[in-house]
Amino acid sequence: MRSAISSSVVTPPASNGEADRRIVTVMFIDIVGSSALTASMDPEAFATLLLAYRETCAAIISRHNGHVARYVGDGILACFGYPRARGRDAQSAVACGLAIAAEMPNLNKRLNASSSDHPRVADLQLRVRIGIETGMVVAGRLGPGAATEIDALIGTAPNDAAHLQHRAPPNGVVIGTATHAVVAAEFTCAPLPATNAADMPHGFVVTAALNRARGRTAPMAGRDVELSLLRERWALAGGKNGQIVLIGGEPGIGKTRLVDEFILRNGVEPGQVLTMSCAPQTTATPLLPVLATLREELDASGTPVEACVVALGLAPDPYAGVLQRALSGAGPSGPSEASPPMREDLTPFERRRALRETLLAWIVSHAREQPVLVRVEDIQWADASLLDFLQFVANAVGSLPILLVATYRSDFVLSWPDRANTLRLTLSRLKMEEAAALLGDLAPQMSPLMQDIILLRSEGVPFFVEEFALAAEVPTLPHTLQQLFVARLDALGEVKDLAQRAAVLGREFDRDSLAAMTDLDPEALDRGIRRLLDADIVVMDSGRDARGLSFRHMLLQEAAYESLLLAQRPALHRRAAEVRLRLSPEIREQQPEVLARHYELGRRPADALPLLDRAAEIALSNNAHRDAENLLARAAALTKDLAGQARCAAELRVWLLRGYVLVETEGYASAAVQEAFDRAHEAAEGLEDQAGLLSLLPGIIGFYQVRGPLSVAQRLTGRLLTLTREYGDAMARADAHRRAGWCLFCMGQTAKARRHLTAAIRLAGQPAERSRTLVLSQDPFVTGLSNLAWLALDTEGPAAATPIARAAEEAARSSGNAILQCYAFQLAARVHAAADDHAKASALTDEVHDIATSRGITYWTAMSNVARGEEKVRLGEHAEGVALIEEGLAAYRRAQGELLRPLLLLGLARARLALGEREQAIAELHEGIAVAKRVEAWLFASQLQRFLEEVQEAIPCPA
C-alpha cells in the first residue's frame, strides 16, 4: 500500500455545516503482498481481482452498518459511527473485520473457480491485514468548490488504523488501545509484542468474538434503604426536629432521581418543596439559585417585594430594598413592581446580613403550616456565598419542620460538620439484580441476551441503564456513553443542529433565546423543539415558565456541544452573546460572567475582559476573594490575545486587580503579589499614557514597604505624590500622603510622617470622599488614622493614641470591609494593650482572628495569632503563648513578610524571657535587628537595640 492517509490536524478547517466532530471507529484493510501480486499479474486480471475483493469487503461492511469512506489503491478505508452513529460502532467494526478475514478463503475459491479467462489468477491465495482504531475525528463534507471532500475523516484514528494493519498477521485483525478499552469484554484479544518504533501505536490481535444492550424511564430500583432513611428524616422534621441530608455520588448515579422518588412516594406536595438548582454559570453570581427560586415564586403570585418582606415579619427598611436589589440579578428580569430605593448608607456587611436574614425568613415562612423540603441540586457548582448561606440554614433548622437535602458529585468535598441531625448518603452503583429489575421495567420486551449486554456495560449506573435502554429504539447499542449520546443526536436528523445551538446557550435555555440562535421560522422551530422533547433530549422545565427548556442531562448538552466543529463554535458564541444582550440587557451588569464566557469562547477578548473585571469587582464587593482571583486568572489569559496599547491597558487593569486581590488573601509580600505587580509594571512601561502609573504605584509601594528596602518605597512615594498632584483626585492624594507617612514613620522620621498622615486624614475625611464606595481595601482615612495612632503611641503615649485608635476602629467597622477591619482593629488593639485595657485589646484581636480565618486572609490570621500569643504570655500561659507567636511568625514568613518581622521577633523574645530562655531571646533580638536594618526600618531597629541592651545588662557577668 503506497498511498498516504489524511494526516491529523490541530484546528479543523471551516465547513459548509455538514461536517462535525464525533467519535468514529476506523478500519483499514490492505491486501498482503499487493506489490508482488500486481507485478505477477496482467493488469486486467488484477483489476478483476481488486473489484471482487472490494465488492466482498463492501458488502460485509454494509451488513455491519459501516461505511466505505474511500478506496486507496488496494486499501479500503471504512468507518463505523459515520455518517450515522448506531451505538455499537466499535463492536461492529471488530466483528466486521473478523468477518472479512474469515471470508477471504471463500473469495479465493470464487476467484480461482472463475479464473479460466485469466490463467495467471489460478491458485490465488488472497489474504488481508486489518487495523482498527477509535477516536475523535472531523467527519463529513469539507471545503468549497473543487476542494470539496465528501467523506473526510480528519483525525488520528485513520492514521493509527493504517499503522496497525501493518502489524496484523495475514487474515488477522489488530485493534488499537482505544478500541480495546471498549470491546475487551466481547472479544478475545492478545497484546502485540512491544515495538521500539515511535510511530507505531500499541495494539491487540483479536482472535475470537464473545458477546452483549438497552431501555426507557421506569420505576425506582434498588434504593429502598436510602428511601427509608429519607422517610425517617422527613418524619423527624415534621416533629420540628429539623434535619439535613447530604447526598453524594458520581454523575448519573441517581441523586436527583432518589429525591424525586422520595417526594412521590411520601406524598410531599409541590407547595412543600423549595428547589434550588446550581450550575456552572451560577458560580459567579452570589446566591443566584436561591434568589431565582424566590423570584419565580414572587412572579407567579404577583406579590410585590415590599409586601413579601412585611409578610415575613421584617421591616421594609432596609430589607425590601436589599432584597429588590438582589432579585434584580436573579433572572432575565426582576419583579414587575417598581424597585424601591435601597439605603445607600448600608455597609456591604449589613447588606449581606439583611439579605441572609430575609432569605432565611422566606424559607422558614414555608414551614409555618406544614413541613418543608429545601432541595438544593448540584452544590458542587454553588458559589461560596451560597455555601455559606446553606450552612447558615443548616445551623438554623434544628427546631424547625425543615428537611434540607443537598446533592453533589462525589469529587466535591463538602466540609460541613456532622451533627446528630445530619445524614450523609453516598449512593453506590446498583446491584446486578437491581439494575436488571430497572432494565426489565424499561424494556420488558427486550431479549435476555440484549439485557445481559446492557447490564454488563452499564456497571450499575442507573442513568447509563436508562440511556442504553432508550437507545435500543435507535436501534443498536452504544459502546460508550459518549457514543450513545452521539447516536441519539444523529437520530434527530436536521434537528441535531437545533440541539447543538441550544447546547451553546447552556444546560438551560428558553424558546426565545433558541429562536434567536437559529434562522428557522416559528413553525419549524416549534416542530424542532417537539422533536427534541419526543426524543427525550430536552425536557420542559417545570420550575420556570412554559418557554423554559433544559437538556435532560448535562452530559447530553456536553455531547451536543462537543459535536460542533471547533471552527464553528466562536461564531455561535458571539451570536449567543448578542442574543443574551438583546433579550436581557441587564445581564451585562447583573451576570457579567455568563456573558463573558460567550465572548471568551467567541474569541472576542476585548469584549470579555471588562465583563470579567466587572464580575471580579462584584465578587470582591461580596468578600468572595477566591472567586475574584479565578475570574482575574481567566482575564489574564485573555490579554495575550490583544496587541499594542490595548494589550498594555488590559494587562495593567487585570494584573493590578489581581495583585490587590492577592494582597487581601495572602498579604502584600507574597511571591504571587510580586509577580502580579511586576506584570502590571511591565504593562505600564508600555503605556504611552503615564497617568496609568497613578493606579500602579500604590501596589508597588506597598510591596516594598513590606519587603523593603524602605528607601525604594520612599522614592516611589515621592513619584506618586507628584503624579497625584497632576492627575489625581483628593482620595488619590490622600492615599499618597498616607503611604508616605507610614514609610517615613517606619524609617524613624516621625515629624515628617505626622505631617503626611495628617494630610491624608484631612483629604480622605471630607464628606464627599467618605461617601464613595471602596471596592478594594485602600481607604487612606482608616489606614491613616491607624498609622497615626501608632505614631502617637510611640511619641506621646497611650493617652494621646487611644482616641485616634477608636476613630480608626469606628470608621473601619462602618465600612464593612474585612481587610480594613483587620488593619484597624489589630493596630487599635496594640494601643489599647499599651493603655492597660487588655480586655478591649483581646476582644479586637479575637475579632480580627475570626474575620481573617473565616475568609482565608492568611496575613491577618498570622498577625492576630502573634497578638493572641502575647496576651497569653501576659496572663502567665507562657508555653501556649510562645506556640501561638511562633505559629503567627511562621505564617508571616510564608507570605514573605519582612517589615513587621522585627516587632514579631521582639514579642517572641519577650515570651522567651518569661520562660527563662534568655539565650534564645537574645538570638531572636539579633535576628530582628538584622532584618530591620536590611529593610531600613530604623525605628524598629532602635527599639530592638534598646531592649537587647536592657536584657544584656540584666545578665550577671561571669566571675
| pLDDT tens figures, 137-156 | 888 877 666 666 777 888 88
DSSP 251-292: TTSSHHHHHHHHHHHTT--GGGEEEEE--GGGTTSTTHHHHH
Contacts 24+ apart (CB under 8 A), 554-560: 554/251, 554/507, 555/251, 555/252, 555/481, 555/485, 556/485, 556/488, 557/502, 557/503, 557/506, 557/507, 558/503, 559/482, 559/485, 559/486, 559/489, 560/485, 560/489, 560/496, 560/499, 560/500, 560/502, 560/503
pLDDT for 525 equals 92
**855 vs 198, which has greater pLDDT?**
855
Cell, residue 523: 413553525
Q: Which of 184, 132, 178 is nearest to 456 (CA)?
A: 184
Residue 694 has pLDDT above 60, yes or no: yes
pLDDT band at 588 (very low <50, low <70, confident <90, very high): confident
- Return the pLDDT at 117: 52
Does 770 score more than 70 pLDDT? no
Residue 547 CB-density burial (10 A; 0-12 exposed, 13-18 middle, 19+ buried): middle
| pLDDT at 938 exceeding the cut of 90 | yes
Could you report the per-residue pLDDT of 80-107, keeping only the tens digit for each?
A: 988 887 667 888 899 899 989 999 998 8
Let me know if 438 is exposed, middle or buried by CB neighbors in 10 A (0-12, 13-18, 19+): buried
Residue predicted with more confidence, 556 or 190: 190
Query: What DSSP character marks residue 708?
Result: S
User: CA 196: distance to chain centroid?
Assistant: 40
Task: Give the angle subtended at the CA of 926 by the CAs of 920 and 927, to the nearest 5°.
Answer: 90
**Residue whose cell numbers read 478547517:** 13
Q: Would you say residue 544 has pLDDT above 60? A: no
119, exposed or middle or buried, with CB in 10 Å at 0-12, 13-18, 19+?
A: exposed
* Cβ atoms of 386 and 408 closer than 8 Å: no
Q: What confidence tens digit (pLDDT) does each residue in 802-840 have? A: 999 999 999 999 888 888 899 999 999 999 999 999 999
Lowest mean pLDDT among 39-43, 167-171, 688-692, 826-830: 688-692
pLDDT at 493: 81
CB 557 within 8 A of CB 519: no
Please report the pLDDT score of residue 56 as a whole number: 92
Q: Domains of the chain by range and CATH? A: 20-209 (3.30.70.1230), 224-426 (3.40.50.300), 857-959 (1.25.40.10)
pLDDT tens string 350-384:
888 899 999 999 999 999 889 999 999 988 878 88
CA-to-CA distance for 891 and 901, rounded, in angstroms? 11
Residue 15: its pLDDT value, please?
36
Quickly state the pLDDT bin for 251 (edges 50, 70, 90).
Answer: low
List phi, psi (to 5°) of 366: -70, -20
What's the CA gap between 407 and 261, in Å, rounded? 14
- pTM score, two decimals? 0.51
Q: How far apart are CA 46 and CA 38, in angstroms?
A: 6
Q: 504 pairs with which residues across the strands?
A: none
pLDDT, tens digit (0-9, with 9 covering 90-100), for 711-737: 988 988 998 898 888 888 888 899 999
